[in-house]
Amino acid sequence: MSHIVYERDVISDPELLPELENYIVEIAKTHNVPEEKINNLALSFSEAASNGMSHGNRLDKEKKINIKVVISDSEFLVKIKDQGKGFKLDEVPDPTKLENILKDSGRGIHIMKSFLDGLTYNITPSGTEVSLSISLK
């Protein structure tokens, strides 16, 4: 099978997150992704898209996030790119350390890592792109 690609640009409006999560879930169901992986993907996607809108684009509705889904025989990949200035991944506090346990934020990356087969960040001058992947094999 060749790659199947879906792509969509949306404004940085958190009210769109439920609709976008449904968009990803419907694509996953169409391509027979197992239900337990769909739930993990949906939660991780919502977290990454929310981070792109709020942290990356600072909820600026003039800025967009780009969502790209690439499906192959072996992988379901979702890329979310914002138009922000990026961040330093190594400066994100570890939420499992005692001093961070009670903090209100900082758990998203840790949760996504535990739910996905792959999580990568590519920080560029034009924005940050996060790639979420689940194995289909």
* Residue at token pair 């990026």: 86
Rounded to two decimals, the pTM is 0.87
User: Which stretches does DSSP call E strand in the chain?
Assistant: 4-11, 64-71, 75-81, 118-124, 127-135
Amino acid identity at 82: D
| Overall size of the chain counted in residues | 137
> In this predicted model, what pLDDT tens digit does every residue of 23-65 receive, in sequence order?
999 999 999 999 999 999 999 999 999 999 998 999 999 999 9
* Residue at token pair 């992988």: 75
> In this predicted model, what pLDDT tens digit does every residue of 108-133 receive, in sequence order?
777 888 899 999 999 888 899 999 99
Encoding tokens for residue 108?
A: 């998203």
